[in-house]
Amino acid sequence: MKLIIAVVQGEDAQRTVVALTDRGISSTRIASSGGFLQQGNVTLMIGVEDAQVEVALQLIHENCRERSRYLTPVPPLAEPGEFFMAYPVEVQVGGATVFVVPVDSFEKI
């Protein structure tokens, strides 16, 4: 068995969960946020038999899009009279960041 941990964008989370559920794959949705952009995203925990890993990865691939996000740099401490113009920086985010981890034990108690 494997645990798939997938960090996806909020906009993609719902349809990814629905697509997984339609194929009989259970998932847990956790609200999270990225360390770089400090913006909300969603982490999906998906426990699957080894034979279902490829299907789950394919569904994540089909449902998660790459998008542009903008990061506004924090102005540095300026000397009096200095002027800093903060231009937003474009960053490409997604489709999804996915970890596939072996599961030693799986129990529902």
The reply on whether position 92 binds ligand 2BA by CB under 6 A is yes
Nearer to ligand 2BA, 30 or 50 (CB): 30
The H or E element containing residue 6 is: strand 2-8
The reply on whether position 47 binds ligand 2BA by CB under 6 A is no
Rounded Cα gap, residues 56 and 1, in angstroms: 13
18 to 9, 21, 56, 74, 101: CA distances (angstroms):
15, 5, 12, 38, 22
100 to 48, 79, 92: CA distances (angstroms):
10, 49, 23
**Residue 109: CB minimum distance to ligand 2BA, A:** 29
Nearer to ligand 2BA, 37 or 50 (CB): 37
Which residue in the shown chain puts its C-beta closest to ligand 2BA? Answer: 34
**Residue 73: CB minimum distance to ligand 2BA, A:** 12
Task: Point out which residues bind ligand 2BA (CB under 6 A).
Answer: 7, 34-37, 39, 41, 91-94, 97
